[in-house]
Amino acid sequence: MSVRRSVGRLLPAPENFIPDAVLEEISAQGLDASRRDFLRKSFAAASATLAAGGALAASDHPAPDGDMAILQPSAHSTRLGHPVAFTPYGSPSKHEANLQRRESPGLTRKRESSISFTPLQGLFGIITPSGLHFERHHAGWHDIDPREHRLMINGLVSTAKVYTMAELMRLPSVSRMHFIECGANSAMDWGGPAVPTVQYTHGMLSCCEFTGVPLSLLLEDCGIDKQKAKWLLAEGSDGASLTRSIPIDRALDDAIVAWGMNGEMLRPENGYPLRLVVPGLQGVCWVKWLRRLEVGDAPFATREESTQYLDLMPDGLQRQYTVIQECKSVITSPSGGQRLLDKGFYNITGLAWSGRGKIARVDVSVDGGRNWKTARLESPILPKCLTRFNLDWAWDGKPYILQSRAIDEAGHVQPKIAELRAVRGKRSVYHNNAIQSWQVSAAGEVMNVQLS
Amino acid sequence: MFNSRSVGGVMRGLTMSALVLLACVSSAHAEKFARIGRAATPSEIAAWDIDVRPDFQGLPRGAGSVAQGEKVWVARCASCHGEFAESPSVFPPLVGGTTRADIERGRVAGLAAVSENSKTTLMKLATVSTLFDYIRRAMPFDAPKSLKVDEVYAVTAFMLNLADLVPADYVLSEKNIAEVQQRMPNRDGNTTAHGMLDVRGKPDVSGKDCMRDCAIDTNTMLLLPSTVNGLNGNLAEQNRPYGSIRGIETRRSP
């Protein structure tokens, strides 16, 4: 059995099979080909040792008369388990601890004004668990007492009003599923592949069911001056009192003043007790800890739209108020930083979304974009919401380059990175909705690459 | 009137109530959502509505000199932003990269060449109102809204002086801030002529939905540099420890 073949097969990783000296070398110099080869050899040796001692999990090495996981009664099937309400607010299994929100090094110096990314590589369907929703704070988060929270609406309205949470929650509510994507999602890869996994390339993306009162209803309750109203300022009650200008047609269309997320109240990190939900618009417009809305006849040129979230074009001109998140998709598994342990059947799965409406179609290529197959879209398929796609694939142990390409109901086709760069250059930051490429090596390792 | 105990008073009260009801019929929601929300008081609006627009709507009266601003700067701002607002060590630099020619033209020429990390706030910023608004609402980082209005004017004046937009003896106030706007180096540097403001707008690129034998260029494939290996931690510990797809071991020694 060759080393490569053994890597392509077995593989519940024995603990500590890499000597410390090698770890230090990898740390200092990275993984080059010879070190990768060495790792494979040490891995194979460690596995052989363990297999000889019979220490591997039963399911991976069946005994002659069957699988010990079946033949031998398990502890959990022969003992009493925990009582009800043992964990009054449940938590994920201890076996799932690897899937966490994580920071990426070097992005910011202050953790109160920073980002944590959603582990898309391990999620199913379209809903982001509340505890894994990505974070972007500008002055840290607080756990605000809802009894102390107020929403004020002023500006071009007949009556400037104040609402308590109790009053807002008496109003007719809607519950809708929408994606939220930071305008800077995939920003690190504008110049070339820069981060290893889909958590860091695309993890400023989440999708939840939000419950709240339609913003249009509140604005009408205050008597919005529809003749003069052109923009809406939304303001948070955090230290940054973050403000963004929202075009009034977006505010009056499908925006929600929301308190609910996935059936529970918003998590504090996501704006508890009140946030703005502006479907299809970049995440910074979804103002958290929402305390004030001001109707105006002109944009407000706040910091988050005058020094940040500008799109610098090659000629030095800056695009301002680029709020719409465009048609995009990504394969979440197999994806960067992962390894296929065996040949054979795999489900290529991923997410597609568009700030301009529903997803109409997703195509998947395994040969770097030369040939495409249309993937299955799983229901529900909703406007401005993540859509899950799947495609059957049999891996034969050869190298491949996986890509997905979304098309939205307006007919917009997700572009290649080279096409975007031809217009916006390499120094752009926001609105990278390019096709993502994942290279699968013969050893089954998946790497972030870019094809022009 | 509504407190009157006389019969006539009650009658007048009822008449008034009827009038109020009639008035409400024209506004369906006001009637429908009775007893939800109340009018904001002028003091409440003044306490929260502190935003300043580019046309200076919302700008409070006040004044502050460059010299006063320098004192506030040294005490409250310099530890993060550097003595001359030039430091990139904690946040991106605020001042630098603008020229007299930029001030004349209203466009910062350097924006056509610099990298994202070396862009300064004063290079990007078109509107001086934003500077005042943001300092007032969000600065200092660890004690936002702790500066008095005159201190906000002073710190703004200090930064404008560092950028050669006002002289060292300048006193910035609500009366002369519009003059400064006319000198902002990148005042004509923004555009809204793009497809990402309107939900029905046109994207920059119309991708192709070719399905067979599509043109691709595999000769210029960019790879993830090996130097990033391990920077994001051990990827094996960021994927499930079971199943036929695992994370790659990229462990670094502690």
Question: What does the pLDDT look like over A258-283, one tens digit per residue?
Answer: 999 999 999 999 999 999 999 999 99
CA distance A399 to A69: 34
Residue A423, chain B, CB below 8 Å: the answer is: yes
Selecting from A18, A196, A302 the residue whose C-beta is nearest the C-beta of B224 gives A196
What does the pLDDT read at residue B248? 96
> Searching chain A, which residue's CA lies closest to the CA of residue B198?
A324
pLDDT band for position A21 (cuts 50, 70, 90): very low
The answer to whether the CB of A130 falls within 8 A of the CB of A267 is: yes
Interface of A with B in 24-53 (CB under 8 A): 24, 26-27, 30-32, 39
What does the pLDDT read at residue A434? 97
What does the pLDDT read at residue B116? 66
Which residues fall within 8 angstroms of residue B171, CB to CB, at 6 or more apart? B63, B64, B65, B66, B157
Please state the rounded mean pLDDT for residues A48-75: 67
Chain A residues with CB under 8 Å of B43 CB are none
Selecting from A31, A195, A437 the residue whose C-beta is nearest the C-beta of B232 gives A195
Is the pLDDT score of A52 beyond 70? no
Selecting from A200, A247, A368 the residue whose C-beta is nearest the C-beta of B197 gives A247
Selecting from B90, B206, B224 the residue whose C-beta is nearest the C-beta of A447 gives B224
Structure tokens at B153: 């004017």
One-letter amino acid at B20 equals V
Chain B residues with CB under 8 Å of A199 CB are 238
> Searching chain B, which residue's CA lies closest to the CA of residue A10?
B244
Mutation for A interface: B24, B45, B124, B239, most A CBs within 10 A: B239
What does the pLDDT read at residue B252? 57
Is the pLDDT score of B205 beyond 60? yes
- Contact call for B228 and A447, based on CB within 8 A: no
Please state the rounded mean pLDDT for residues A210-221: 98
CA distance A320 to A309: 8
> Searching chain A, which residue's CA lies closest to the CA of residue B31?
A221
Nearest residue to B243 via CA among A336, A60, A241, A396: A60
What does the pLDDT read at residue A427? 85
Please give the residue that has the higher pLDDT: either B189 or A50.
Answer: B189
Chain A residues with CB under 8 Å of B37 CB are 161-163, 167, 221-222
> Searching chain B, which residue's CA lies closest to the CA of residue A333?
B245
pLDDT tens-digit series, residues B214-250: 999 877 899 999 888 889 999 999 999 999 999 999 9
pLDDT band for position B7 (cuts 50, 70, 90): very low
Is the pLDDT score of A409 beyond 60? yes
Structure tokens at A112: 């109160």
User: For the domain A115-319, what is the CATH code?
Assistant: 3.90.420.10
Mutation for A interface: B91, B238, B240, B251, most A CBs within 10 A: B238
Please state the rounded mean pLDDT for residues A46-53: 41
- Distance (Å) from the alpha carbon of B81 to chain A's nearest alpha carbon: 12
b/e map B229-239, b = 16+ CB within 10 Å: bbbbbbbbebb
Q: Return mean pLDDT, chain A.
A: 89
Is the pLDDT score of A44 beyond 70? no
Q: Which of A48-52, A331-335, A389-393, A422-426 has the lowest mean pLDDT?
A: A48-52
- Contact call for B44 and A420, based on CB within 8 A: no
Please give the residue that has the higher pLDDT: either A87 or B10.
Answer: A87
pLDDT tens-digit series, residues A153-181: 999 999 999 999 999 999 999 999 999 99
- Contact call for A303 and B249, based on CB within 8 A: no
Mutation for B interface: A25, A137, A319, A354, most B CBs within 10 A: A319
What does the pLDDT read at residue A58? 42
- Contact call for B238 and A99, based on CB within 8 A: yes
3-state helix, strand and coil shares in percent for chain A, rounded to the nearest 5: 20, 30, 50
Interface of A with B in 140-179 (CB under 8 A): 152, 154, 159-163, 167, 170-171
pLDDT tens-digit series, residues B55-81: 999 999 999 999 999 999 999 999 999
Same fold, A115-319 and A328-449: no
Is the pLDDT score of B151 beyond 50? yes
CA distance A182 to A445: 29
The three-class DSSP label of residue A228 is coil
Is the pLDDT score of A18 beyond 50? no
What does the pLDDT read at residue B3? 39
Q: Which domains does chain B have, with CATH numbers?
A: 7-37 (no CATH), 63-181 (1.10.760.10)
Per-domain boundaries in chain A: 3-70, 115-319, 328-449
What does the pLDDT read at residue B32? 79
Selecting from B108, B195, B246 the residue whose C-beta is nearest the C-beta of A338 gives B246
pLDDT band for position A311 (cuts 50, 70, 90): very high
What does the pLDDT read at residue B229? 84
Please state the rounded mean pLDDT for residues A409-430: 94
CA distance A441 to A443: 5
CA distance A31 to B227: 9
The three-class DSSP label of residue B94 is coil
Is the pLDDT score of A63 beyond 90? no
Please state the rounded mean pLDDT for residues B139-168: 97
CA distance A170 to B36: 8
- Distance (Å) from the alpha carbon of B246 to chain A's nearest alpha carbon: 5
Chain B residues with CB under 8 Å of A157 CB are none
What does the pLDDT read at residue A452? 73
Please state the rounded mean pLDDT for residues A295-315: 97
Measured over all CA atoms, what is the biggest interatomic distance in chain A, rounded to whole angstroms?
81
Chain A residues with CB under 8 Å of B138 CB are 138-139, 239-242, 303
> Searching chain A, which residue's CA lies closest to the CA of residue B46?
A154
Cβ–Cβ pairs < 8 A, chains A and B: 345
Chain B residues with CB under 8 Å of A163 CB are 36-37
Selecting from B127, B225, B239 the residue whose C-beta is nearest the C-beta of A306 gives B127
ipTM of the complex: 0.87
Is the pLDDT score of A39 beyond 70? no
Please state the rounded mean pLDDT for residues A16-39: 46
Is the pLDDT score of A35 beyond 50? no
pLDDT tens-digit series, residues A186-212: 999 998 999 999 999 999 999 999 999
Chain A residues with CB under 8 Å of B23 CB are none
Please state, as a whole number, how many other Cβ atoms lie within 10 Å of the Cβ of residue A376: 13
Residue A90, chain B, CB below 8 Å: the answer is: no
- Contact call for B126 and A196, based on CB within 8 A: no
What does the pLDDT read at residue A61? 61
What does the pLDDT read at residue B187? 98
- Contact call for A217 and B29, based on CB within 8 A: yes
Is the pLDDT score of A8 beyond 60? no
pLDDT tens-digit series, residues B117-126: 679 999 999 9
Please state the rounded mean pLDDT for residues A70-74: 94
Selecting from B53, B189, B213 the residue whose C-beta is nearest the C-beta of A317 gives B189
- Contact call for B124 and A243, based on CB within 8 A: no
DSSP state of A350: E
Range A328-449 classified under CATH 3.30.750.24: no
pLDDT band for position B206 (cuts 50, 70, 90): confident
Q: Which of A17-31, A236-250, A363-377, A399-413 has the lowest mean pLDDT?
A: A17-31
DSSP state of A329: E
What does the pLDDT read at residue B117? 66
CA distance B131 to A428: 23
What does the pLDDT read at residue B4? 37
pLDDT band for position B31 (cuts 50, 70, 90): low
Percent of chain A with pLDDT over 90: 83
Interface of A with B in 269-308 (CB under 8 A): 280, 291-292, 294, 296, 298-303, 306-307
Strands B245-247 and B63-65: unpaired
What does the pLDDT read at residue A64? 86
pTM for the model stands at 0.87
Beta bridge partners of A207: A179
CA atoms within 13 A on the CB side of A118: 29
Percent of chain A with pLDDT over 70: 86
Selecting from B39, B53, B199 the residue whose C-beta is nearest the C-beta of A159 gives B39
Residue A324, chain B, CB below 8 Å: the answer is: yes
Residue A359, chain B, CB below 8 Å: the answer is: no
Interface of A with B in 50-89 (CB under 8 A): none
3-state helix, strand and coil shares in percent for chain B, rounded to the nearest 5: 40, 5, 55
CA distance B150 to B153: 5
pLDDT band for position B25 (cuts 50, 70, 90): very low
